[in-house]
Structure 1
């Protein structure tokens, strides 16, 4: 007997086999399409990256620097020139307060955070040692040769060093000097004074003949300008403040006490006005320009302003007065560039420094601003001399510089000197008492 075949079951079995084959084909097609699409996506992504990555790599590197508001505005033409001629670098200047102490505080705060937003530090000469000692600046010694440094004023280069390494390249300089009224001296047949005694003698003669109300103006307010001014008188007396190599303090020595006594004498003898102990640069400048004063100690910026005042053509400049047989000294000021040790763009920052130190760039800047160059050749540059005829004479002044102590604790040492020097000048302490106290406190500072 033959088995009975169920046709219905055969049809169902055949249908199942067909469905399985169809599903298999669909699954194969699905996976093939997935991998094909994935491959196309990867290829597209690689193609996009090949376009985007070079585009990003060609974006300019931004170099940032903080600058006082006034000078930041004066920099704008230079910044524009730099950015137009350096397609791979963009210089960005952040405008800060005009008060230099506040700018120093902003730099200090940024560096203390550990990752400063500034690639360059535009520094007053007295900040260098503090910043370098804290590890905030990069050593520039290997970026410039000794021959290249010879193009600048020696004092400006020395002021940028700390422990025999270079941390600051100079841009513009400053130096204290003596302004004198040529017309008044001619009326009494006197030559410009060289010594402290000559200055007092000429001042008294002019006062006796009613040719001048005041003999000598200087910065006596309790601030950094007082320390700068006193540095010159101290040098002229043969004394010193702090020896940076030995840490010896000289404020209580006879030469330093004599320097304080000279300044005190100008007040007690009415050579200087009683209010001089409250004067800074601008107060003394304006009083000198009023026409009633014979002598003024101040910075180079005064020359251009006084040349447009009532005493235009009737004054000149010379190195500061000094004691017989001693040296004249111009307290060195000025500004320059350092590179932040945390900067990720040190080479680009150095490119900015190189640009700002080109003679043609500096000529353009100093013609517009009247600032004093650090590059020696510019003191006799014809276009600059034509506009500022005093520059050759100014070179003699700034080539006899005296530095405020280049030590890491300078800010604290200056504060000590200002307090006790002010006490002596206002008469609340004798010069001996004040300088002895200043010396003791300074020694304690250095020992600590």
Structure 2
């Protein structure tokens, strides 16, 4: 099962940043109940008030401690005692609990479904069937320090060789003590970091983490594509231009280092960096550039099928419990959340990326949030997460081998063989 540790910063930090403040629920008896692992927060509370004024319906958030959330939902659904109408979810939970969710595909206009980025929809959609709607688009891109790039006469990299060359040039020892004061690149390495890096990079180099065989998903990475992915991962964490502390560092600390001018580039959630800087380092906003993450296409040693880019989604949403007596109200709220009015409000009130592709046509909104086009451009490239009920166990089982490889304790062949065996074990239920 996708257990507690899946609530890591890749998915969790953005959610808490958007909805983590104390809640003031709409007064009166709730017409809809949503189970979640945090309070609604300021932005969502405003949305709930807007919904109540528009429809006369009240929505109540029932918050369960994060460490208990998955098991609480599972027990309620499996034992048919759940009394909530909707649940907070991401791709892994939607996949795991799909048989217990209401298929509302035909209740959502096709024009609406077509306008929602699939990198956002992946949170609430399985095999083309919609069980709710996403709340925001979360996808990762490459942030870079425009001032450092300009001084060095560099342009944003379009492939990984260019990124490595730029990172090397921008790794700077200011005081001559032999230790860089500015590193060229860093990305999160702690908790889910290495596993997420591998999932992203196996797609970037043209490979896949899993493939279907005899109706089952089996490992697909113990090959030259896996070796190529590992090569780049080792560069990200162990090259002279990579901050060596990143392998044990969480996203917020790397975000802070970038905002403080100590990193030339970082791989981060699009929109999250700007939101953080507005609060902590507003002077850095003008110095910050954003582009899609470079791919292995066009690099020396690239394999057939190498991509121009690849990323990972961290989008979340709300899905509807099968059998809820408040189905129409739940569908109405799901539609309300992805309406242009609410998506635009959510962006302007907090700053995360809207789910609707048509938002790119709102010139005023794009001027205020120039990262919108980059997010939708990044979403055009591979962004599969292979998140299902085995996801967290696979992460825990494969991370030691990934870390041993990065630290030079295992060869690529050894690491891939161990990882393959662990994924097979996990998926066999052992």
Q: Using structure 1 for the length normalisation, give the TM-score.
A: 0.78
**Deviates further, 378-387 or 213-222:** 378-387
Q: After superposition, give the CA deviation of every residue in 1:338-363 in whole Å (9 maximum; x if it has no partner).
A: 10124222222112112212111221
Provide closer, same or farther for how the CA distance between residues 117 and 229 of structure 1 changes in structure 2, counting only shifts above 3 A: farther
Matched, 1:341 2:322: yes
Aligned counterpart for 1:187 among listed residues 146, 151, 162: 151
Q: Could you tell me which residue of structure 2 aligns to residue 26 of structure 1?
A: none
- The residue aligned with 2:108 is 144
1:238 equivalenced with 2:200 (yes/no): no
1:166 aligns with 2:166: no
Conserved? CA contact 1:222–1:419, under 8 Å: no
Counterpart in the other structure of 2:262:
292
Give the Å deviation of 1:234.
2.0
Q: Secondary structure at the match of 2:138?
A: strand
DSSP 3-state at the match of 2:314 = strand
Match of 2:183 in 1: 214
Kindly tell me: are residues 266 and 335 of structure 1, through their superposed partners in 2, closer, same or farther at Cα, counting changes over 3 Å? Answer: closer
Q: Counterpart of 2:46?
A: 77
Asked whether the 8 Å contact 1:251–1:438 carries over to 2, the reply is no
Following superposition, the deviation at residue 115 of structure 1 comes to 1.4
**Shift in CA distance, 426/62, structure 1 to aligned 2, threshold 3 Å:** farther
Distance 1:127 1:200 in 2: 36
Post-superposition offset of 1:233: 1.9
Does 2:165 correspond to 1:201?
yes
Alpha-carbon distance between aligned partners in 1 of 2:240 and 2:82, rounded to the nearest angstrom = 50
Deviation string 1:162-202 (CA, Å, 9 cap, x unpaired) is 34433232221111110111111111212211222222212
Report the counterpart of residue 323 of structure 1 in structure 2. Answer: 296
Instruction: Rate the CA distance shift 1:213–1:298 in 2: closer, same or farther, 3 A.
Output: same
Matched, 1:126 2:92: yes
| Cα distance in structure 1, aligned partners of 2:71 and 2:407 | 29
Call closer, same or farther: CA 1:78–1:164 in 2, change over 3 Å: closer
- Within the candidate set 314, 331, 336, 2:287 is matched to 314
Contact 1:242 1:250 in 2 (8 A): yes
Is 1:405 the equivalent of 2:363? Answer: no
Greater fraction helix: 1
Matching residue within 275, 286, 304 for 1:304: 275
Is 1:115 the counterpart of 2:81 in the alignment?
A: yes
- Counterpart of 1:279? 249
Task: Evaluate the alpha carbon distance shift between residue 168 and residue 403 of structure 1 in structure 2; reply closer, same or farther with a 3 A threshold.
Answer: farther
RMSD over aligned CA atoms reads: 2.5
Question: Which residue matches 1:388?
Answer: 369
Other-structure match for 2:333: 352
Query: Shift of residue 65 of structure 1?
Result: 0.6
CA-CA distance at 1:102 after TM superposition: 5.1
The alignment of Structure 1 onto Structure 2 pairs a total of residues equal to 384
**Mapped partners of 1:305, 1:256: distance in 2:** 34
Do 1:332 and 1:401's aligned partners in 2 also have CA atoms closer than 8 Å?
A: no
**Equivalent residue of 2:264, what SS?**
strand
The residue aligned with 1:62 is 31
CA–CA distance in 2 between the matches of 1:429 and 1:180? 32
CA distance in 1, matches of 2:368, 2:325: 41
- Cα offsets for 1:293-329 (capped at 9, x unmatched): 1110010211232355253311211111221342201
Contact 1:162 1:406 in 2 (8 A): no
The secondary structure found in structure 2 opposite 1:214 is: coil
Q: Do the aligned residues in 1 keep the contact of 2:87 with 2:318 (CA within 8 Å)?
A: yes
Secondary structure in 2 aligned to 1:288? helix
**CA shift at 1:416, angstroms?**
2.7
1:174 touches 1:333 (CA, 8 Å); kept in 2?
A: yes
Which runs of 5 or more residues in structure 1 are unaligned? Answer: 1-58
Q: 1:439 to 1:362 in 2, by over 3 A?
A: same
Deviation of 1:407 after TM superposition, in Å, equals 3.7
Q: CA deviation at 1:433?
A: 1.4
**Counterpart-to-counterpart distance in 1, 2:324 and 2:183:** 52
Check 1:61–1:390 CA distance in 2 against 1; reply closer, same or farther (3 A cut): closer
* Larger gyration radius, structure 1 or structure 2: 1
SS at match of 1:116: coil
